[in-house]
Structure 1
Amino acid sequence: MAVACARGLLPKLSRKTDAVILDTHLSRTNEALLQLFLGQVPQLWSSPQPPVAAIDLSRRERLVEVSGDGFERFARALLGEVLPACYLEGYLPLRAAVEALPWPAKPKFIYTASSFDLDEGFKLWTASKVARGTPYFAGQHGAGYGSHLYMQTKYAPEQTATDAFLTWGWNDGTPRTAPAFIFNAAGLKARRSIQDGGLLLVEASMLNQITHWDNYHEFGLYQDEQFRFTAALPEAIRRQLTVRLHGSYRKFEWDDIERWRERDPDIVIDTGSETIGRQMERSRLIVYAYDSTGILECLSLNIPVLAFWRDGLSHLSEEAQVHYRRLIDAGIVLPGPEVVAQRVAELWDNVGAWWNSHEVQRARMAFCEQFARSSLHPVRDLKTLLLEALARRSE
């Protein structure tokens, strides 16, 4: 009720030139403080969902003329099948909903660290403002930027179509890139390792319609490595293990829970009933089974973590591999499931001694400086970065 009242009242206190800031990955409190620091009344903007529109097959068939050769012909032939409905059948209703938004008419700038991904209403509204000259800034959304070869690359629209891209620490040397800090962990306190906690294994999601290879086959190989990891753990540690499934597991007919039950009926499986932060607070050691945002968050917050994934460092650029090798040398990133299980057993009785060692902490801090910087004053620092980006845009 209070949020609904705020959404109705706060827009009346906004100015047409206020910056539009939403989905920053900061806490709600810090996001409100950021707007206050910029001299404007905090807002709880929310964009409209694309309306449900019936697919018009005949219209799609008439959409393009299939011509050309090779890949061009293939892409043209597929366009009618893959074009989202909100860009064709549902476009006019979505545009009407966007035009009715009570957002600032001439914003000083637009900033988000998430809405550029799946928020079609935000995208349409932002495109209309950018076409009229409004500066548009984006912040890093998760892991992979500045390091991965195939996803979150320098060709991603949030980098190429923005006036400034705020990273979690890295810099590609272009004027558009501005090193910032890891927004997800901003304002959170680092914690000491817990000596009597459990073991947490964090699982990846299946990559649906993102890659050009067989995702189901790849995920089967991936999950087999998770089974091998748990099987290689000493019995006493395995009984303190919680397997946290990725939140998207419900979207696929993979039957993750049943597969885990077949391997070990007594395994503790978490399906997202509580936040991963709560689970981390009860864990003495966390194992990530993929190169994820969570690893960066743990490293930034100084939480003991181990990691392993398939295919080594082949998914990383040569520049990024230099930094990841620091984690390998420190024994944080390991080459396979059995090796990780053995390492867990070796560290289990005194995780803190290993994690707080000079070698591990030096590697952690050097890596974080590149990919997971922390900030003691995230609101002040982000305000400074945004205003600097705005000044460069005005030059």
Structure 2
Amino acid sequence: MTTSSITTLILGTLPENADPATHALAGPWCAAPASAEEAGYLMPPEPLADPERLETAARQARQLVSRLAPRLGDAFNAIYETAYDERYWDFVLAPWLVRVVETLVDRLHRAEGILQTFGKLPLSVPVLPPPEETAIPDFAFADTQDFIMGGILNPAWNHQLLSRLLERRWPESWTAVELPRVRRAASPRPSENPVKRLARNILFSLPFPRIKGFSLRQSLELSLVLLLNRDRRDDTLPLRLLGDPSAPPLPLGFTEDEALTFILSIRPQSLQEAAIPLSLGHKQARIRSRVVSVAACEDDAYRIKMALHRGRGCRMIFIQHGGEYGYVKTSVAYPLVEYRQHRFITWGWKHHGLLPGNFLPLPHPQLAALRDAHREKSPSLLLVGTEMALLPYTLKSMLRGRQHFAYREGRARFVAALPEPLRAQTLYRPYFDVPSSLEDAPWLLRRFPEVQRCTGPLEPHMLGCRLLVLDHAGTTLAQALAADVPLLLYWDPASASFTPEAEALLDKLREAGILHDSPESAAAKAAEIWDDVPGWWARVRAACKPWASQHALTNKDDVSHVWKLILKDV
């Protein structure tokens, strides 16, 4: 195919009559869940696939968030005639603001890549009209979660955004074809049973709310400990101090003022309600420290309630809830939302590269409950995959956009390289469904019908399999190490991006034959050890201890007692 035959550039969803000979795509999401690459469509290179370019984009995003946070707080105070300080507004705004800025910066880099790839071609480009200046926006969002699902992961919303960004440097060789306006109403979460909602609100109002891995009794006991904590230190890092003034300007000449206008125009209904005058009450919170559930990142109503406590001076403690914290090299959300709190309790690590934070390592009950729990119950090889979202919603060290094509192909290469009898004993566990993602389990199982799909809760399968194989580093890796599950890992080192501290630990796994740089190598190792996995694991498991001590910390102590001792003085 030559570019001379291309006549149309698609920014949104690919029309049914499209053909690779005549249509080019702004990105892989245009054809989701099908593979635009397998179909042969021309697309720009993935703009932030290079780890250094991704880190530059993250620096741009962190700087923009740090600059916008105080301006947004001032804007809300002026609109609603309130006088809340940065403690309140930083807590309310951070999760949503970070998501918006990450998306905006990513799409600016994508728009720049689209212009570099197609800017000199004579193309017809269907665009969506700009938003009308009316009380009813084209795309309305109920809350942060609704914005993620109905905005960031919605090809139509991205179509409108890219239409506006490309207008800034619209090539003379392009012809804009305006499509009918698209509207999307806010979609609040489904109504909850009143009794369940009441119980949930009560549990979330505890100084130590229900956290995964902790029992109700433990939550109550730790809440009492926090009630007795009278320490007056506050190590919270304000958002305004967490930027990077050396970050380069945004692509396409996009300015901070333009970003502020854009962000105010798309704020969800929940954040409009956040500034309705509410009394912050006492100058000093009666409870000086609270643990906050990670639900606060996407549950705006809960976050606003916690922000009222924060506005009174209460110090907030967040807890690691997934495996990748601490070793992904690049992140925007982690330092700006969670690490900067008075304390961030980790699964063992104390530093995260150059990202600032108030880190406190403690053994977590979620992992302690799995300690040495593996017992083979079936001679199965369990292969676990991760998400393949084609519309990125973070600026974090993970595969992005077009990189998922090679990632998925690697999984097929692994299965194909297994001996046929072992392939028949393989279970595949796909990731949860995410909008605008590449087709997952059906794609693999059509190619290898002898492989079975793993259904139901993952944990029993993991604890009872003979061998676990992971093609990514995530929460399942931490759980497996805590449970002493025999495992193999593989990924392409050229596309993986870890902190220098993590790379040194991964080298030990590579030397032991646990981590492999290709799916074929991992498959060969699986075949080699299959008849005596316990014997092999006994010889190599020691290589996992350095990684596990940093990223899957467990010990034989009474975990609840350890937390009580620490939280009374935090």
Using structure 2 for the length normalisation, give the TM-score: 0.54
Listed as ranges, the matches of 1:1-395 within 5 Å are 4=195, 19-27=206-214, 29=215, 31-36=216-221, 38-39=223-224, 70-72=254-256, 75-76=259-260, 78-80=262-264, 82-88=266-272, 91=274, 106-151=286-331, 155-160=335-340, 162-172=341-351, 176-192=358-374, 194=376, 196-207=378-389, 208-211=391-394, 215-247=400-432, 249=433, 251-252=435-436, 254-270=438-454, 273-312=455-494, 314-357=496-539, 360-376=540-556, 377-389=558-570
Structure 1 residues 171 and 283: CA distance shift in structure 2, 3 A: same
**Distance in 2 of aligned mates of 1:255 and 1:182:** 34
User: What corresponds to 1:63 in structure 2?
Assistant: none
Opposite residue 213 of structure 2, the aligned amino acid is: L
Structure 1 residues 232 and 81: CA distance shift in structure 2, 3 A: farther
Among the aligned pairs, what percent are the same residue?
22
Matched residue count: 341
**Distance in 2 of aligned mates of 1:23 and 1:38:** 10
Opposite residue 24 of structure 1, the aligned amino acid is: I
Residue 280 of structure 1 aligns to a residue in which SS? helix
Opposite residue 79 of structure 1, the aligned amino acid is: I
Structure 1 residues 171 and 157: CA distance shift in structure 2, 3 A: same
Cα shift readout 1:53-111 (whole Å, capped 9, x = no counterpart): xxxxxxxxxxxxxxx953435534642565334223x5579x99x99xxxxx8434211
Judge conservation of contact 1:193–1:352 (CA < 8 Å) in 2: no
Structure 1 residues 364 and 109: CA distance shift in structure 2, 3 A: same
**Distance in 2 of aligned mates of 1:129 and 1:164:** 16
Structure 1 residues 262 and 192: CA distance shift in structure 2, 3 A: closer
Residue 286 of structure 1 aligns to a residue in which SS? strand
Q: 1:19: Cα distance to partner?
A: 5.0
**Distance in 2 of aligned mates of 1:289 and 1:311:** 11
Residue 480 of structure 2 aligns to a residue in which SS? helix
Residue 318 of structure 2 aligns to a residue in which SS? strand
Using structure 1 for the length normalisation, give the TM-score: 0.75
Structure 1 residues 71 and 263: CA distance shift in structure 2, 3 A: farther
Cα shift readout 1:2-49 (whole Å, capped 9, x = no counterpart): x948956995xx9xxx9522242214x2x4224225548xxxxxxxxx
**Distance in 2 of aligned mates of 1:304 and 1:126:** 41
Judge conservation of contact 2:462–2:480 (CA < 8 Å) in 1: no
Opposite residue 402 of structure 2, the aligned amino acid is: H
Query: Which sits farther off after the overlay, 329-338 or 140-149?
Result: 140-149
**Which segments of 5 or more consecutive residues in structure 1 lack a partner in the other structure?**
41-67, 100-104, 390-395
Judge conservation of contact 1:286–1:305 (CA < 8 Å) in 2: yes
**Which segments of 5 or more consecutive residues in structure 2 lack a partner in the other structure?**
1-193, 226-251
**Distance in 2 of aligned mates of 1:158 and 1:284:** 36
Judge conservation of contact 1:203–1:244 (CA < 8 Å) in 2: yes
Residue 297 of structure 1 aligns to a residue in which SS? helix
Q: 1:205: Cα distance to partner?
A: 0.6
Opposite residue 158 of structure 1, the aligned amino acid is: E
Opposite residue 295 of structure 1, the aligned amino acid is: L
Judge conservation of contact 1:296–1:371 (CA < 8 Å) in 2: yes
**Distance in 2 of aligned mates of 1:38 and 1:215:** 40
Judge conservation of contact 2:292–2:318 (CA < 8 Å) in 1: yes
